[in-house]
Amino acid sequence: MPVTLSAKRGKAARPIHFVAKDNLEAVALTDGERAWARANGFSGEAGRVLLLPAADGSVAGALFGLGAETGGFAPLSAGQLARSLPAGAWRLANPPANADAAALGMMLGGYAFTAYGKGPTRDISLAPPPGVDAARITRIAEAVTLVRDLINTPANDMGPAELEAASRKLAARHKAKISITSGDALLKANLPMIHAVGRASASAPRLIDMNWGPKSAPKVTLVGKGVCFDTGGLDIKPASGMLLMKKDMGGAANVLGLAHMIMDAKLPLRLRVLIPAVENSISANAFRPGDVLRSRKGVTVEIGNTDAEGRLVLADALALADEEAPELLIDMATLTGAARVALGPDLPPFFTDDDTLAGELAEAAVAAADPLWRMPLWTPYDGRYSSKVADINNTNTDGFAGSIIAALFLRRFVGKARSWAHFDVFGWNPADRPHGVAGGEAQAIRAIERVIGARFG
């Protein structure tokens, strides 16, 4: 990663001074540095970076604006430093109270997707601030980088087979067991909806099943939607609707990042990761509007729209996961545009019937600067995806409450898990932010990891 944590050049590293708005006098600077700041109109504006010159013309240090003291330090805003500082070793001269967030922000802000020729950002070494767990911050940054890289990779290089390869690589790193059920073997394994959604693709549909940790430990299962490209199927999307569909495997990418954090921290639990990896394509054998599919759970599903395919593959995977009655079952998916309409791209909704879990997630979201918002599993809406020929339809026809309807659909396939939550993530930054450039993004996993660590660590 372009920004790494290293104590090797701690005291020799150049200082970064954090400056609250209009509070330059409180920072330990030389008279010349303070005069330079004033000459450049620097008064601690939020996110502004000012380099400090040395007598020989080199860079001696930097100032970083915190903004108004009453507003507080935006935790990950230090990511701007990663794109503003010259390469070399740096240290936080006066770390803010949440120094771990400042360090993480710098590491996340230094990300660049370089697989196709774009140049990397400059290499910066940051001395870990006192009290900061460098190993933890590094594993979080590695997880976010993994998620971003997977989502940013175009579908011609990130189909079901390549998503399987990425999963195998992660499993090998952490000595996890992994098995794959692919193609027509899905029918024999009673995973018919995963097969139906993915069978039209040249790359066979598959279920990725990763297991790690002692069997006697509490079981945590993660399920991620791995639709590597979504044309919409026979209910084809318009061209504009397909532009970002390489990111429709963002749920799978996020659960792999979360799995890395759990395994790297060696949390005392039994982890299972299930990823239905498919491409929703168009071919002579594509599933059709009006088809009725029988799910793993035995529930029959009429296809009201082939573009509501994510909930179909998740339903089979959730039913499989639920059979083991895990302590905690989490699913993540780039599932509905309705979630974006309701809350925008930065604030993923989550759904759960477990009020205790919801409270823990809300607290963790604030602590981790990883925003989440609980939305209701409003049972009166259950009838809105009814069918006259099957048990249920895969979509509702009135266009209302789309994210809630999708969550209610998934809830039908969970019954034995002690606690379940569904996260409808966007997985994308529409524009550059201090801690993340435009492109693929990890969402919710830093908050979820805090909750899992607190519950089982």
Divide the 457 residues of the chain into consecutive groups of 10 and give the mean pLDDT of each group: 81 92 93 96 95 95 85 79 96 92 96 91 92 96 98 98 98 98 98 98 98 98 98 98 98 99 98 99 98 98 98 99 98 98 97 98 97 97 95 93 98 98 98 96 98 96
Q: 0.85 cut: is pTM over it?
A: yes
Report the pLDDT value the prediction gives residue 321, as an integer from 0 to 100.
98
* 154 vs 244: CA distance, rounded Å: 9
User: What class does CATH assign to 3-132?
Assistant: alpha beta
User: How far is the C-alpha of 254 from the C-alpha of 197, rounded, in Å?
Assistant: 21
User: What confidence score (pLDDT) does residue 9 get?
Assistant: 67
The pLDDT of residue 97: 85
For residue 393, give every residue at least 6 positions away whose Cβ sits within 8 Å of its Cβ, in sequence order, or none: 301, 302, 303, 304, 385, 386, 387
294 in active site: no
Active site residue 384: no
Integer Cα distance of 56 and 280 in angstroms: 60
Residues forming CATH 3.40.220.10 domain(s) in the chain = 3-132
Q: Which CATH superfamily is domain 140-456 in?
A: Zn peptidases (3.40.630.10)
Which is catalytic among the residues 148, 272, 311, 384? Answer: 311
pLDDT at 69: 55
Sequence ranges of the chain with CATH classification 3.40.630.10 = 140-456
Distance CA 337, CA 313 (A): 18
Spot the catalytic one: 21, 237, 374, 455. Answer: 237
- Residue pointed to by tokens 């879990």: 357
Show Cβ contacts of residue 66 under 8 Å, excluding neighbours closer than 6 positions: 18, 19, 20, 21, 44, 46, 73, 96
